Chain A
Amino acid sequence: MKSLIPIDKLQIKNSIKLDSGEYIDSCEVAFKTYGTLNKKKTNAILVCHALSGDQFCSDINPITKKQGWWNILIGPGKVIDTNIFFVICSNVLGGCMGSTGPSSINPQTKTNYGLKFPVITISDMVKVQEKLVSALGIKKLFAVIGGSMGGMQTLEWATKFSNKVNVAIPIATSYRHSAQNIAFHEIGRQAIMADPVWKKGNYYKTRKGPIGGLSVARMIAHITYLSELALQRKFGRNLQNSDFFSFNFDTDFQIESYLKHQGSSFVERFDANSYLYITKAMDYFDLSVKKGGLSKVFKNSNVNFCFFSFTSDWLFPTSETKTIIKSLNSSNAMVSFVEVKTDKGHDAFLLEEPEFHATLKGFIQGQIGKHEI
């Protein structure tokens, strides 16, 4: 087989059956790799991105020209050392960084899918990733790692393709989306759909999509990624431009300005329909309803797990992780778990957290000893 490594996109010829029952034809997966795959193809780590992420996890993102979203962790000599490992990161199904999603051209109609795009699940995303991994000639991944939605994909890999994974590292995640998580996502979706430019998802001919709605969705979500303490520490009640209140509805407080910036920079790189589809996929995720309960899905698992949670993460609190640990313990699995003390909230998994990085590095080193790479 011809090597696919230098190519950034894989086209999957066979149609893929989705959880919804629908099929998706000539699906494309955009991906990026770092490091070199060894001869035995045993040193591959699949990195799964979160809701707003993309395949550019390390180095400089060629599109935004900013550092990759996990550049702090992945690269030569870093915690996930690309001198040792072959890192694969793909844009999720439904995304907008090159993989097939609602903004892609529907091969049948030759126009953008829009809402004609089938509703997808985390499991569908993982099915597509598995095709990519197989196409790269990898029979078994050394590890799958991801935070938040990336952690959901990691858990899905560890249950659906447990024979193709040695090590699973789910971070700041859960086995299901809670009512509160769904609630926040629904507000975001409603904000997008209330934007008059949205037009039931059929906005691709307009110059700018529903950026007002998408920006509000991002602002709401961004609050859930932080903690009250971190917000207070960073912004307090500080005013943005003056020492006095403006007594109008312009930006007074620094926190307002910060959120607006988060919103406006997000809309430049993200598709509103993708946001609808991906948040829905997260809301549908629930491992506990599969195969008769959470403890059953992990039964006889040979995967080595290492979970991380963060004390101030209220979006995916430690209690969620502990529920999974409980099930894994009762199914006799190899599981490690660390709760990292931090006030940085859910986003801590993306940030400089020395304790988190030290434990992760140690765990990976320990696993190198256990699995031949």
Chain B
Amino acid sequence: MTGKGFDLEGIRERLVKRQELIDHYKEQGKNLDKNLEQQLKQELQQEHQGVLLLEAQKEKDDRQEIVKLRSELEQQQQDLLKIKQLNYQRMAVKMAPPMTVLRNAILAFVVGGLICVIGQVMFALFQQGGLVEKEASTATSATLVFFGALFTGLGLYDELGKFAGAGSIIPITGFANSMVAPALEFKREGFVYGVGARLFTIAGPVITYGTVVSIFIGLIYYFTK
């Protein structure tokens, strides 16, 4: 250890003492005095370096104890940093602009609802045109997906999304958007490494977890029906 003689017991003692101090400040929600913080940081750094060297010099089988001490020191370095971070985050949160939740929710409701109304009208028209219910619903989905894709291609869907949020993401048109947007975007990296590899960048998680959830629901249905 730099400067001082190497003394594992001393390190352990200081580790405990420092932890008490850190916990105290954490509870109080107060930052450490700058000089004190610097001193603790320096101490920790010095001990960490010393322990690292000792670890390097020991035989592989004798390292266990020292590895544990090293990770305790590292944890304490994190804890020390955390005090400042938590206090800062507390202050910063108060200054953040208010989230426009109500406005967003209303817009999402109206736009999402409108898309669904359009879908319902299409559905009725398809049925009037002579399709049975199942065919009409498939045709409606396909048409909505087509328009979702078209408006993405025309560069309009992201403008709608900015305004409507979840209202335009949740309906099936949003699914089309989440597929066409990466397709357009990554075409420049080619059809294999671009479009092929990244087509599902956004839709992927939805499909993955949609499938997983449907398995569970299927099981529940199977055992409870």
A pairs with B: no
Using a CB–CB distance below 8 Å, which chain A residues touch chain B?
A: none
